[in-house]
Amino acid sequence: MPNETPRFLALASLLFLTGLACAAGGSSGTATSPPGANTQPDWAAQRERMVETQLRGRDITNPVVLDAMRRVPRHLLVPEAVREMAYNDHPLPIGYEQTISQPYIVAYMTQLLDLPPDAPTRVLEIGTGSGYQAAVLSEVAAEVYTIEIVEELATRAAADLATLGFDNVTAKAGDGYIGWPEHGPFDGIMVTAAPDHVPQPLVDQLAVGARLVLPVGRDFQVMTVITKTAAAVTEEQTIPVQFVPMTGRARVPGDD
């Protein structure tokens, strides 16, 4: 039998050198990572799935609203503890006994505003929360003004919105019941907490032709659309909803 030792040593040397080349990033092999190592969620894919199943799959048909929901990084505007659930079909806690609405409700309220797509519009939001709804509004309006009664949330949301480059959003802490008259009239107003009646100061700050969209009620709440025309103010109720109560002057009977 021939002596196989020289051939075995040559093969071993070749394998050793090949291993060094692979470890150094050479092209003679492909390194693989252990399963689950350094993996990051595909947030863009999650947003796309959210748009197709939760929004377009229901009754969100406005292409401007759908594009806005597709662009805004919701996962960067919720607390890190719930970030992995950012695109799930349910509300999320954001601290201070407040929540962020599920994506569908955000899109639904934005669509109800019925903003003209080709005109520069100014929108007021009452209840900034995490800043997500304001970010979505910034994609469909030229100027967004937003007020949050919880000062800690207002500060955090303003910082996050600035970091993410939503430069057309102006935020402040305060009682949104009285609106922001120095920046009115508004082409749309949205309230993301539920008063038990429609705040008259917000109706007064609507431009002619504009809408106020808000949940109204205590134990039972319904999404309500107030439209101001040159002749009258009309009210329409749409779907039952559940929001945190509006606080501040909204709790004072007859304080209009």
What pLDDT does residue 23 have?
A: 37
Number of folded domains that form the chain: 1
Residue 236's domain spans which residues?
43-251
In tens, the pLDDT along 145-186 reads 999 999 999 999 999 999 999 999 999 999 999 999 999 999
Q: What is the mean pLDDT of residues 121-138?
A: 98
DSSP characters over 140-164: H-SEEEEEESSHHHHHHHHHHHHHT
Q: What is the mean pLDDT of the chain?
A: 87
Residue 63 lies in a domain: yes
Nearest to 103 by CA among 123, 130, 80, 125: 130
Tokens of 202: 């917000």
Residue 97 lies in a domain: yes
Tokens of 175: 């009682």
Residue 61 lies in a domain: yes
In tens, the pLDDT along 79-117 reads 999 999 999 999 999 999 999 999 999 999 999 999 998
Q: Find the catalytic residue in 13, 28, 33, 101.
A: 101
CA–CA separation, 93 and 169 (whole Å): 23
Phi, psi of 209, rounded to the nearest 5 degrees: 90, -5
Residue 34 lies in a domain: no
Residue 9 lies in a domain: no
In tens, the pLDDT along 191-201 reads 999 999 999 99
Residue 6 lies in a domain: no
CATH number of the domain bearing residue 60: 3.40.50.150
Residue 27 lies in a domain: no
Q: What is the number of residues in the chain? A: 256
Active site residue 101: yes
Does 3 have pLDDT greater than 80? no
Tokens of 168: 């057309």
Are 103 and 97 in contact by the 8 Å Cβ rule? The answer is: no
Residue 144 lies in a domain: yes
Instruction: Using DSSP, state whether 79 is helix, strand or coil.
Output: coil
